Structure 1
């Protein structure tokens, strides 16, 4: 059989592989697959709302961010771990870069490879939810977070994770896993006891603190750099007896008032607040010129009667909100109130064209009043492109009593155990193309803070909010590699890869914005590299 030089439609890059043998080998392994020539291919890759297909199981489809339209070389749909192993080996024999897709919620569509020509292994069949007598649970990586809430709740159990219910557990648990319960229970990776995973050579392994501890360390914070996880075993918690979820909105805060509110929120984070409080602030455009809208949300997992005393030190210092809401009930009722968009994930996900940045602020270096004022002033006065809507989410990670920051940074490969806030900064429009000026506008939001902080301010970026335009790749990278007699070529290649396992180079080497310098040597060693 001859090797085909396969040219993907509308793509200038040529990918050389034996197309016929790839299809033949997958068929011999009884692995369902879709190729660019197949009639169903546009339905599983194109970023447009089309009906779901069925190939023995419901397929995960399309890109999440309409800003991208990547074209994989093929998509495989294994239904067992052995088939995942076979798919990896088959793709490797053709020299194809391999990427796994669980929920397909990557902000830069790394779940389709982060570029053209990847071999995508869709994990849609891995939906197991098994709760064990010892309180642990084994979860398939294709479960969406909404599925996890509902499935574990049947046993009166829960784990920490986000509230965006269409996010897949595989990617969420690979790079952190923040949610409103995280100040109380930690990140999703902190609940992980062991994983079943497939290595790049097709070997199936179990990794835990007792078995392959170095691999287990790497998987909890950077899983796709080392393996494809299939099953995750986690420690669960009894669901709280009650949940309260409250929102407070100020429609049009002027610059001074909004700056004061954010400064108060930062001070409040350092007060002795209970870990049973999960809280965030959202900023959007104000209803009048020169203002911003602020929404404060509070998820309370303690006794309802203790809520007011917990939030009053912050809310009591503010003016009356324009509006507010309150919901309380049992765990499932409370999570339904705070879930986005809802716990039911049976309908197709919504799609948008967006660009998101992340700014993690260090615990010991709070944002200055000048930086906060510059940030609010930018939001209130700089006019975005007419078709662009923006939103900033200020998530409280740290502060007093946070379980996330209680774990030593070297216990997992997650790099940021000293974070106070994570700002998720987004601009979006309904349909492509994303406006060119939109990138400048969103970057300007981030810069309004960074440029008004000391030059050595140790900000960072959250890997689950990965972006494709992060150019501040850190002077520290070369300080790390300068310690080596020889700059290890393979290490640089690893650091250049986009997250979630894509092979497409993404600008300059990855940085301390995503990487903990003290962990560099361990990452190099774990990757099988001998740099001397």
Structure 2
């Protein structure tokens, strides 16, 4: 059963959609002070005056894989997942084939003072992976997945979740990550990475053991707990697009578990009671049970619940019975099914088709006034408010141990519409929740640095100054703007 984000508004089981569809976004925040403990990294070139972009050497090296305006494939080459950004006009799209070509792109951009952005899955909610006038580094060809006998997985930065899950399942391994099959593993991980195994196995970035990254000076670096530890810290939750271009990620995977999936839908008018029971039940739920509550707008807002239990259906049955008892309303539909890891990931996958949407986010840190939520959703057709459970393994990591700050939160919140940005932002502002998830980045997010990074913003800014002192990887909500 696959459901797109658009299906969150109309289809049964829509509560399972949108788990990390923005996980490939880039973003950062603004605020606080910082200290730099070592000298800044020198960029490949530090020109004092703007130069006309010279792509001649890069064009000779890449040939037709450097797609420029006028080329027959230019229109499709710069497309992102969201058609809203089809009008973007990058200076060129470099369809790189290896790490050395990534480094060449970075050096070229630095020398020409040309904006540069990496594109993994192309799901940036703000379209930051296809800026006007920029050199876009398309990582799609870096899509290999190698699983070693010890369970370590080495994954190219351009790999999409669908192919990652397929390769891992074939090897009998699993990785906690998002749902949308076309989301890129790199962007998802750099922002944190939430999904249906999050409560049991942690964020995607919590399974990360090292990365290879090309920084602003054109140097290929390995970042891990032992090498470039500050950079490694920032790359686990600091958002994509800020500190360089990641080319490869190494994860510690887990043995692929047997899973039980759940979808339940409730009648219109029951949203307040369903959501309130769900949010108050959530803190005591076992880590093995991830769950999501979606409130859909309308004259009488409705609610859906989806879930994924790490274990068999027999062990899950008492938990489901307890949740249903707490809710106290008979669902319209209930579906549970035991699946292997690969089949469960396909169940939550949704469509790969491009999709027009507007979205923003919040973070649920304490129980919310459910009546306020339903008032905000009433009379605003075409909006879904999706609460993805955190807790469990996520809260076992301290808020400053990685750049992802929302460790004690109950859930991330995605507010989504296929048609209306003002509506989603109005609901967000009306909820009055602190925080926001950087993988659901929104250019209209107030006080975005604090919202995305909390108390980690200052350290992130200092690390950005060290590795990119001349702001090669700058963008509107980048770390250099904190």
Distance 1:28 1:329, change over 3 A: closer
- Candidates 97, 111, 117, aligned match of 2:133: 117
Matched, 1:315 2:324: yes
Matched, 1:134 2:145: no
Structure 1 residue runs of 4 or more that deviate by more than 6 Å after TM superposition = none
CA–CA distance in structure 2, aligned partners of residues 102 and 308 of structure 1: 39
Distance 1:183 1:81, change over 3 A: same
Other structure's SS at 2:400 match: helix
Matched, 1:520 2:458: yes
Q: How does 1:77-476 map to 2 (within 5 A)?
A: 77-113=95-131, 116-222=132-238, 223-240=240-257, 242-252=258-268, 254=269, 257-271=270-284, 273-285=285-297, 289=299, 291-317=300-326, 318-341=328-351, 349-362=352-365, 365-367=366-368, 371-380=369-378, 382-384=379-381, 389-398=382-391, 402-429=392-419, 438-450=420-432, 459-470=434-445, 472-473=446-447
> 1:525 offset after TM fit, Å?
4.4
Aligned partners of 2:435 and 2:454 also within 8 Å: no
Aligned partners of 1:64 and 1:352 also within 8 Å: yes
Distance 1:124 1:205, change over 3 A: same
Other structure's SS at 1:520 match: helix
> 1:27 offset after TM fit, Å?
1.4
Aligned partners of 1:244 and 1:301 also within 8 Å: yes
- Candidates 16, 22, 47, aligned match of 2:55: 22
Match of 1:50 in 2: none
Matched, 1:64 2:39: no
> 1:209 offset after TM fit, Å?
0.4
> 1:519 offset after TM fit, Å?
4.9
Aligned partners of 1:175 and 1:221 also within 8 Å: yes
CA–CA distance in structure 2, aligned partners of residues 274 and 517 of structure 1: 28
**Deviation digits for residues 125-155 of structure 1 (CA, Å, limit 9, x no counterpart):** 1011111122211000111111111001111
CA–CA distance in structure 2, aligned partners of residues 128 and 417 of structure 1: 31
Aligned partners of 2:161 and 2:179 also within 8 Å: yes
Distance 1:518 1:219, change over 3 A: closer
CA–CA distance in structure 1, aligned partners of residues 61 and 415 of structure 2: 46
Aligned partners of 2:293 and 2:306 also within 8 Å: yes
Distance 1:518 1:105, change over 3 A: closer
CA–CA distance in structure 1, aligned partners of residues 58 and 286 of structure 2: 56
**Deviation digits for residues 88-129 of structure 1 (CA, Å, limit 9, x no counterpart):** 10121111111100111111111113xx11110000110111
CA–CA distance in structure 2, aligned partners of residues 145 and 40 of structure 1: 25
CA–CA distance in structure 2, aligned partners of residues 144 and 186 of structure 1: 20
Mark the runs of 5 or more structure 2 residues left unpaired by the alignment: 1-49, 471-479
Mark the runs of 5 or more structure 1 residues left unpaired by the alignment: 1-15, 46-61, 342-348, 430-437, 451-456, 474-509
Distance 1:237 1:94, change over 3 A: same
Structure 1 range deviating more: 315-324 or 165-174:
315-324
Other structure's SS at 1:233 match: strand
Count of paired positions: 417
CA–CA distance in structure 2, aligned partners of residues 372 and 72 of structure 1: 44
**Deviation digits for residues 228-251 of structure 1 (CA, Å, limit 9, x no counterpart):** 1100000000001x2111211113
Aligned-residue RMSD, C-alpha: 2.1
Q: TM (normalized to structure 2)?
A: 0.82
CA–CA distance in structure 1, aligned partners of residues 337 and 460 of structure 2: 46
Q: TM (normalized to structure 1)?
A: 0.75
CA–CA distance in structure 2, aligned partners of residues 379 and 445 of structure 1: 7
**Deviation digits for residues 132-188 of structure 1 (CA, Å, limit 9, x no counterpart):** 122211000111111111001111001110111110111111111100100000111
